[in-house]
Structure 1
Amino acid sequence: MKEDFLHYLWKFKKFDTLNLKTFNGEEITIINVGQYLELAGPDFFNAQITIGNQKWAGNVEIHLKSSDWYVHHHERDEAYKNVILHVVWEHDTEIFRKNNTEIPVLELKKYVDAVTISNYQSLISPKSWIFCEKQIQEIDEFVFKNWQERLFFERLERKSKPIFDLLEQTNQDWEAVLFCLLAKNFGLNTNGEIFFKIAQTIPFSIIRKESFEVENLEALIFGTAGLLDYEKEDNYFKDLKFRYFYLLHKYQLDKSYVEPVQFFKHRPDNFPTIRLSQFANLYHSQENLFSRINMLNSLKSCYDLFQVSASEYWLNHYQFDKESPKKKKSLSKSFIDLIVINTIIPLQFTFAKSQGKEISEDLIRLLNEVAPEKNAIIDKFNSFGIVSKSAFETQSLLQLKNEYCNKSKCLECSVGIELLKKQLVV
């Protein structure tokens, strides 16, 4: 038995509410269970109940045992002085407020039927990958779709927080924020944080000034990445190195050092040299990129905007001084899909939120055009019969797995709550 199950029982009144009595025999009528806070302090705020002939308004605290009140030292805490009812699974001792008045106790185990308890035990045990993996596909489609939408926006809320932090650091410069977010996206999982630090190191005002010449952008970005710290025979390398130190002198910048970029385990098309060149060419070819991205409303418009390739030198190179068969290094549609998922959608959401605008339907519509992601988590859900048709659905499932399943929050999950409502099948 866990306390969150008791929270669920009280919140949804999943017990016999018609014959309730305190442990001392006084009749209880629940008028309002109160607001579930999930914060410090009592569990349910501003509840309304009648005990005997007296109506009470105040807070409700829930524990597995009455003695937990003292274990958690609530008797010393002013936040608990307005508790009007102590709801417990098992009553093992009397509880008193700081002023020595006794708090009425409802022992819940007397009022919960066996089916509800069995359903709960069936839901939380045993666990292999997720608790409900054998039952999740039984959930009503309407309920599941609504839950996916909520999960999606929970995920966007989480993604918006570091964007707002970045805005503070850049004096509310959305273009500079976008520069950093796109850099991280271009670095993928392995180099994402390194690319992000590279973008943070270069003042975006300099990117604006030097964007007319792609070699200058490459020089700044490659130099900051430490890729020009060597001696090579290649003329293109020598030119970038000369430009880099000229730009350092021009803008009176100190040479910065970041963690070395990683080539290991990458396919050549994902080498940091290629991705950084494509990134530089994007900012060379597009002015006012934030405004353009904020107006994107279809996947085709995203593909059109990100039609960029690495510089000509990289047609027959993946690394400096090493020639390779000639191949144009353009951004693939699958890579642009990742940009849509990880940069465009979160940025549009955050900007709209900052402006007090509602664009939820537009975001869902755009992400429904994007192919579903492919990873181990999505593959596992697929094996349980939860097959995603778009990135909107896969993003929701990632949120479900990471924030609910992994944290055993079944009783805060619509899937778990629906399964608890079902009759136990023996």
Structure 2
Amino acid sequence: MQEDFIHFLWKFKKFDVLNVKTIDGKPLQIFDVGQHNHNSGPDFFNAKIKIGEQLWAGNVEIHLKSSDWYAHHHETDKAYDNVILHVVWAHDADIFRKNKSVVPTLELKNFVPSQLLKNYHQLFSAKKRWIPCENNFAEVDDFILDNWKERLYIERLERKSQQIDVLLNQTRQHWEEVLFRMLFRNFGLKVNADAFESVAKSIDFSIVRKLQSNPLELEALFLGQAGLLDATIEDAYFIQLKNTYKYLSQKFSLQNTAAAQVQFFRLRPSNFPTIRLVQLAQLYSEHYNLFSNVIATNRLTNFYELFQVGVSEYWKTHYTFQTSSTTSEKRLTKSFIDLLLINTIIPLKYCYNHQKGVLETEEIFELANAIKPEDNSIIKKFNSLKPVVKNAMDSQAFLQLKNNYCDSKKCLHCAIGCALITN
């Protein structure tokens, strides 16, 4: 049994509150369980209870057994002098404060419904399951799932907002440059994310501003900083780009300091770093104030129009400098734009709105609900248990659930786990 379970029982009063008594037989009335403290000090602050005829206001400490009070050295800590109740699963020792007064104790094990205890053990004794509630997930009420996944989605956006805050600090609150770095990382996908991010960091955004009217110079800048113009290739366009990059390097004192090399291995030609970097060059040459456009855009169809860029003439017949291909526009696909929206645009809009004091999330939810869900093994598995993922908001929510709750068995902090335990 986990101590978190005792926290759960106390916080939500999941025991026989009408008949509880302290270990010395005094009736106990609970008016307020207090505020759950997740930092150091007693577990619940400012509780209000009545023991016998005496009203008490103060803190509550939770342990599996009474003797844990001494194991944690609370008897010498002033922070625990105003504990008015010690809540334990099993009482095995009398507890005293520093002034030698007795701390009243509630032993919970005789006041918890047997079915609730059985449900708890079934959930936490599960071994070799994909998620602890795998066998019961389909039983969870849709109302609980719908409300929980909204909270999970906000949690995920909050986590991504923290990462954006780091970028804002690095760029001195330059939103346009933050978007630039985030787009580079996401254009690199999983294979080249780190390499593309290091390319973006190696370029002062003021240089991008100066070159936006010249797509060829942007191409040379991005490809050169990625180390893709270092070779010797007998190709006229390659030589033109290489000479352009040499000129830009001297003009802006550029240094090719990318932390990781870009990779072509196991990538489809449409995801080759050459193509993705050229598409980025086209995007920034077509949209001078891209961040402002992103913030002003709300509808999915308008985002598809905004990001439906292709490549320059040379790349319509090439994926690399060494080989030619059949002619194609090589425009960003809707599925790729969906990934940009999920991983870059929506988190950025959410963070920006919060910094501006706009706390309304309806616009964000509508956009996320309009995007198709991600297609990965986690989402497929959840849908095999119960068809719950229908859009991008759902897929992001259930990724948050799996990675931050299920994998670490935080079932007592999960609406699904709580529902199954108390059912």
TM-score surpassing 0.5? yes
SS in 1 for 2:172: coil
What residue is the counterpart of 1:83 in the other structure? 83
SS in 2 for 1:185: helix
**Superposition pairs for residues 232-311 of structure 1, below 5 Å?**
232-311=233-312
Question: Residue 60 of structure 2 contacts residue 85 of structure 2 at CA under 8 Å; is this kept in 1?
Answer: yes
Instruction: State yes or no: 1:187 paired with 2:188.
Output: yes
Aligned-pair distance for 1:253? 3.0
Matched position secondary structure for 2:229: coil
| Corresponding residue number in structure 2 for 1:126 | 126
| Residues 202, 258 of structure 2: 8 Å contact kept | no
Shift of residue 155 of structure 1?
Answer: 0.5
One-letter amino acid matched to 1:93: A
User: CA shift at 1:97, angstroms?
Assistant: 2.3
Aligned to 1:49: 49
Indicate the SS of the match to 1:340: helix
- Specify the alignment match of 2:397 in structure 1: 396
What amino acid is the match of 1:76? T
What is the match of residue 372 of structure 2? 371
CA-CA distance at 1:91 after TM superposition: 1.1
SS at match of 2:56: strand
Structure 1 residue 74: Cα displacement: 2.5
One-letter identity of the residue aligned with 1:3: E
How far 1:40 sits from its partner (Å)?
A: 2.4
Q: CA deviation at 1:118?
A: 0.7
1:74 paired residue number: 74
Q: What is the TM-score with the length of structure 1 in the denominator?
A: 0.96
Partner of 1:14: 14
Distance in 1 between the 2:59 and 2:259 partners?
52
One-letter amino acid matched to 2:402: K
Percent identity, aligned pairs only, is 54
Q: Confirm whether residue 419 of structure 1 aligns to residue 420 of structure 2.
A: yes
Residues 94 and 102 in structure 2, CA contact (< 8 A), matched pair in contact too: yes
Quickly say closer, same or farther: Cα 1:291–1:96, change in 2 above 3 A: same
Query: Aligned pair count?
Result: 422
Equivalent in the alignment of 1:58: 58
Write out aligned runs for 1:159-238 (5 A). Answer: 159-238=160-239
The one-letter code of the counterpart of 1:61 is: E
Structure 1, unmatched stretches of 5+, are: none
Describe the superposition over 1:85-105 as per-residue Cα deviations: whole angstroms up to 9, x where unpaired: 111101111222233332111
Distance (Å, rounded) in 1 between the aligned partners of 2:237 and 2:14 = 72
Distance 2:74 2:303 in 1: 55
Tell me the equivalent position of 2:313.
312
Report the residue type matching 1:83 in the other structure. Answer: V
Distance 1:277 1:284 in 2: 10
TM-score (norm 2): 0.97
Structure 2 residue identity aligned to 1:21: K
Q: Could you give the per-residue CA deviations for residues 186-211 of structure 1, whole angstroms, max 9, x where no partner exists? A: 01111112211211110111111111
Distance 2:74 2:295 in 1: 50
Query: SS of the residue aligned with 1:130?
Result: coil
Deviates more, 1:318-327 or 1:206-215: 318-327
CA distance in structure 2 between the aligned counterparts of 1:59 and 1:258, rounded to whole angstroms: 51
Please give the alpha-carbon distance, in whole angstroms, between the structure 1 residues aligned to 2:255 and 2:123: 58
Conservation of the 8 A alpha-carbon contact between 2:226 and 2:256: no
Within 2, Cα distance between the matches of 1:47 and 1:393? 37
Counterpart of 1:297, as a letter, is: N
